[in-house]
Amino acid sequence: MAEYIFYTTEGFTQAPDGKDIENCQLLGRAYGKDKHDALQNLLKENPWIEHRGFNPYEAIVKELA
């Protein structure tokens, strides 16, 4: 099985000075036979992703070496 990382451009971060910063949000990493299998494993292990309003099907996925 391969390991994949999932991240999104949805959302933002707040700097210590209170200003919003647009950046990528790391959703997590998961193992799977392919990226689709890994996504299903990610969602099983991290139900907060959908509960917080992220669209995991729009996430950027990269296989880790």
> What's the structural domain count of the chain?
1
Residue-number span of the structural domain to which 33 is assigned: 2-63
- For 33-59, letters b (16+ CB in 10 Å) and e give eebeebbebbbeebeebeeeebebeeb
Specify the pLDDT at position 11. 86
Predicted structure pTM score: 0.86
Specify the pLDDT at position 30. 98
Q: In the predicted model, what is the mean pLDDT of residues 52-65? A: 95
Specify the pLDDT at position 12. 84
pLDDT tens sequence across 9-45: 998 889 999 999 989 999 999 999 999 999 999 999 9
